[in-house]
Amino acid sequence: MKITKAQVIVTCPGRNFVTLKIHTNEGLYGIGDATLNGREKAVVSYLEDYVAPCLIGKDPERIEDIWQYLYRGCYWRRGPVTMSAIAAVDTALWDIKAKAADMPLYQLLGGASRDSVMVYGHANGTNIEETIEEVGKYTDLGYKAIRAQTGIPGIPSTYGVSKDKMFYEPADAEFPSENVWSTEKYLDHTPKLFEKIRGTYGFDHHLLHDVHHRLTPIEAGRLGKSLEPYRLFWMEDCVAADNVESLKLVRQHTVTPLAIGEIFNSVWDCKDMITNQLIDYIRTTVVHAGGITHLKQIASLASLYHVRTGCHGATDLSPVCMGASLNFNLWVPNFGIQEYMRHTPETDEVFPHAYSFNKGALHPGNTPGHGVDIDEKLAAKYPYKRAYLPVNRLEDGTMCNW
């Protein structure tokens, strides 16, 4: 088999998605997600200008070799743009291989290790009462795990709280919108949310929370400690993880489990955190961490240190990423949980998929490949629209992490 064409498709059915479609001389094709929220066109150029010409004529069955060729061969390794581009190629090649074998991808990876993949949904509200109500909606839908975020009195807008509850989309402006942040107000308010959720619904569901990189280690330690009575499944991105040593301080103060890694791109970003057992869940996923090939490597390393997977699954990761991730999750021995932010009906229509939701879990389906396709005619009806993620400032105007 030979690769004849590598085509990049950009579509915006409510939000931007970049998809790579690899064609072969045998009529089989595979697709991979290459979406990098707020920087989509950088990956488009990387793929069209540099990667696609090198793929023509290559044997698509040599997945590992092509991965190494793109990683080692470009000299400038790692980083979100490079690794999203490599991921897209890798995902498309696994799709082709599984189609050629007439198997769903999870079979090719080693078969199912579980019946389905537990997912968590996002309950959020502008105040605690609204979030409590939203948590109830998710329990009614059958979710076993729910992430809870709430607006904070005195702060006009914050991460994780959306106008459109089911389809949270933070990249919503042609120019970055500005949020305001107060750690003091956040630290006072957040434990009250979880106290009320547990008081209302008891302890039958897993609860999760995303701090979104905003605290210092000692503040994160304090938050984790104050949330211990409510037994969270995890506290996510409690500090910006550039400096791994920060997590030692957090660990000294709390046994609330920690999840990190949605913005990591390679096993090297994860290594010290995993081998020092500073986290409990690794958040890397297919599109931003080098595809199925590289995610397998990260998960294998994690398995040696009791770290489980918790793949990122926000709406800016396309259904193609979700399909690939679900096949991976059904197989991976040290599975933890999968994030599942639902896509809008427009997005689901552009990306017909075999995966389905039942009783708080997703199954990738049994279609050969990863089970997700793209309707190119429909995709063409939604042209690219520039959209930025917000930026964040302290109340005195100082820039801080969003």
For ligand CS2, the closer of residues 6 and 119 by Cβ is: 119
Q: Half-sphere exposure of 346 toward its Cβ, with a 13 Å CA cutoff?
A: 13
Told to check if 368 binds ligand CS2 by CB under 6 A, we report no
- Report, in Å, the least distance between residue 171 CB and ligand CS2: 6
Residues lying near Mg ion in the complex (CB under 5 A) are found at 210, 262
In contact, 168 and 162? CB cutoff 8 Å = yes
For ligand CS2, the closer of residues 16 and 254 by Cβ is: 16
Q: What are phi and psi of 368, to 5 degrees?
A: -55, 140
The residues with which 8 forms a beta bridge, in sequence order, are 20
- Report, in Å, the least distance between residue 55 CB and ligand CS2: 27
In contact, 326 and 319? CB cutoff 8 Å = no
Of 273, 198, 199, the residue nearest 243 (C-alpha): 273
Q: Is position 69 annotated as part of the catalytic site? A: no
- Report, in Å, the least distance between residue 38 CB and ligand CS2: 7
Could you tell me which residues come within 8 angstroms of residue 129 by beta carbon, excluding any fewer than 6 positions away? none
- Report, in Å, the least distance between residue 159 CB and ligand CS2: 7
Residue ranges of E strands in 220-307: 234-236, 258-260, 281-282
Of 197, 195, 192, 187, the residue nearest 155 (C-alpha): 187
How many amino acids of this chain bind ligand CS2 (CB under 6 A)?
A: 10
Q: At what angle do helices 267-275 and 291-303 cross, to 10 degrees?
A: 10
What residues numbered 335-354 form the site for ligand CS2, per CB under 6 A? 339
- Report, in Å, the least distance between residue 257 CB and ligand CS2: 15
- Which of Mg ion, ligand CS2, none is residue 256 near (CB under 5 to 8 Å by kind)? none
In contact, 175 and 388? CB cutoff 8 Å = yes
Q: Note the Cα 300 to chain centre separation in Å.
A: 19
Q: Note the Cα 143 to chain centre separation in Å.
A: 18
Told to check if 240 binds ligand CS2 by CB under 6 A, we report no
Interface segment toward ligand CS2; rule CB under 6 A; list 21-29, 56-64, 88-96, 310-318? 310-318
* Spatial distance between the Cα atoms of 236 and 256, rounded to a whole number of angstroms: 10
Told to check if 169 binds ligand CS2 by CB under 6 A, we report no
178-181: strand order across its sheet? 178-181, 391-394, 399-400
- Which of ligand CS2, Mg ion, none is residue 13 near (CB under 5 to 8 Å by kind)? none
Which of 212, 288, 312, 370 is flagged as catalytic? 212
Q: Taking the CA atoms of 71, 74, 76 and 80 in sequence, report the sign of the dihedral they define.
A: negative
For ligand CS2, the closer of residues 301 and 389 by Cβ is: 389
- Report, in Å, the least distance between residue 351 CB and ligand CS2: 17
Told to check if 210 binds ligand CS2 by CB under 6 A, we report yes
Residue carrying the six token digits 């193609």: 320
For ligand CS2, the closer of residues 308 and 312 by Cβ is: 312
Q: Is position 212 annotated as part of the catalytic site? A: yes
- Report, in Å, the least distance between residue 268 CB and ligand CS2: 21
What is the DSSP secondary structure assignment for residue 330, as one 8-state letter? H
- Report, in Å, the least distance between residue 73 CB and Mg ion: 32
Neighbouring C-beta atoms of residue 125, cutoff 10 Å: 20
* Spatial distance between the Cα atoms of 359 and 95, rounded to a whole number of angstroms: 27
End-to-end CA distance of the chain: 46
Candidates 54, 314, 378, 400: give the one binding ligand CS2 (CB under 6 A).
314
- Which of Mg ion, ligand CS2, none is residue 339 near (CB under 5 to 8 Å by kind)? ligand CS2
Told to check if 316 binds ligand CS2 by CB under 6 A, we report yes
For ligand CS2, the closer of residues 42 and 389 by Cβ is: 389
* Spatial distance between the Cα atoms of 28 and 153, rounded to a whole number of angstroms: 54
For ligand CS2, the closer of residues 37 and 256 by Cβ is: 37
For ligand CS2, the closer of residues 58 and 312 by Cβ is: 312
- Which of Mg ion, ligand CS2, none is residue 269 near (CB under 5 to 8 Å by kind)? none
In degrees to the nearest 10, what's the CA dihedral of 82, 87, 88, 90?
Answer: 130
Told to check if 262 binds ligand CS2 by CB under 6 A, we report yes
For Mg ion, the closer of residues 294 and 312 by Cβ is: 312
Which of 106, 143, 159, 281 is flagged as catalytic? 159
Residues forming the site for ligand CS2 (CB under 6 A): 37, 170, 210, 212, 262, 312, 314, 316, 339, 389
| Residues forming the active site | 159, 212
